[in-house]
Chain A
């Protein structure tokens, strides 16, 4: 039971800290939310590339994978595994391949929502 609590706590701390850094960047610099997202995704690829992501993921779990850093790290992992198995072609196929599930689901749901729900600006 304590082990489960510890895992939840570690995930919360890591996710919380990553969010605070983003909030401070928004409040103190001119970075817009869209730029933060781009920054975090690219940072995720970098963190994976230098080999820091896996050990951090082992400690913080979903606290690392759910923030967009995890999205980027997933792209990095996809590229590495694709290069390992298919060679140079993997440089091109690995990234989208690994992130296909998330991107596809988000886009399809977005399309569905635009058909089902009325635009918010009109509802008001």
Chain B
């Protein structure tokens, strides 16, 4: 097997190993974050918080943690390996908001931070809210008919 053939073989197989590695890391980090969140939830309900309140608090705690870690530059170092593992939990949303705000501070507070902070948050909020309105319309009118 000459070098060219070897290289071709590596090229052919490396996307797959990368795919597997990325997925494994995403599973690991995503799973870890959610297990950690469940742990916090169990502690909160254990000390008497209502389940609904505890659920909201867990989300808020992770938003806070992700924002702080982003500020100190630690989040990116984790996300580089975790990929979707840190993106999909609410940590990814919080990180996107904070990093966009930080990166645009040189463009001014109003039109820099104020506008760019919504670069990722905007689409998420817009389509989340719009989906909600669509569901609300269907739910309301279905309730009138049936």
Contact of A95 among B38, B93, B113, B132 (CB under 8 A): B132
Interface of B is mostly: helix
Nearest A residue (CB) for B51? A61
Binary flags per residue of B97-123, CB closer than 8 Å to A gives 1, else 0: 111111111100100010001011101
Contact of A109 among B56, B92, B98, B131 (CB under 8 A): B98
Q: Is the C-beta of A103 less than 8 angstroms from some C-beta in chain B?
A: yes
Decide: A71 and B30 in contact? CB cutoff 8 A: no
How many A residues touch the partner, as a band?
A: 35 or more
Cβ of B116 to closest chain A Cβ, rounded Å: 9
The CA of A33 and the CA of B41, in the complex, are separated in Å by: 27
How many B residues touch the partner, as a band?
A: 35 or more
Interfacial residues, chain B to chain A (CB-CB below 8 A): 18-19, 22-23, 25-35, 37-42, 55-56, 58-60, 62-64, 67-68, 70-73, 76, 83-85, 87-90, 92-94, 96-106, 109, 113, 117, 119-121, 123-125, 127-129, 131-140, 143
Query: A19-B89, A101-B60, A111-B117 are known contacts; what are 20 more A-B pairs with Cβ within 8 Å?
Result: A11-B37, A13-B31, A16-B27, A17-B27, A36-B84, A37-B88, A66-B33, A67-B89, A68-B92, A71-B128, A80-B135, A90-B140, A106-B67, A113-B102, A114-B98, A114-B101, A114-B117, A119-B103, A119-B104, A119-B105
